[in-house]
Amino acid sequence: MNPIALLNNINHSIKVNPTWGDRWSRLIWLYSNKPLVKPFSTGRHQINFQYASPIDKITLSVRDNGGSDAFIFSEVFDHCYYNLPLPFQPKTILDLGANAGFTAIFFARQYPSAEIACVEPIPGNVELLCKNLELNNIQAQVFQSAIAVTDGFLEMELDANDYGHKVAGIEYGKKLTGKTIQVEALSIPTLLQKLGWNRISLLKIDIEGYEAVLLKDNCDWLSLVDAICIECHEGYGEADLQYLAKSWGFSSPQLLPGTWLLLRVEESA
Average pLDDT, integer, range 187-197: 98
269 class by beta-carbon count within 10 Å (0-12 exposed, 13-18 middle, 19+ buried): exposed
**What's the confidence (pLDDT) of residue 269?**
38
Average pLDDT, integer, range 216-242: 95
**What's the confidence (pLDDT) of residue 267?**
60
Residue 136: closest CA among 46, 18, 64: 46
Average pLDDT, integer, range 1-17: 92
| Residue 96 pLDDT exceeds 50 | yes
Q: Rounded to whole angstroms, what are the CA distances from 25 to 14, 40, 52, 58, 153?
A: 12, 9, 21, 15, 38
Spell out the domains of the chain, with CATH numbers in brackets.
Answer: 1-65 (no CATH), 82-263 (3.40.50.150)
pLDDT tens per residue across span 16-65? 999 999 999 999 999 988 877 877 778 899 999 999 999 999 999 999 99
| Residue 84 pLDDT exceeds 60 | yes
Bigger pLDDT: 268 or 130?
Answer: 130
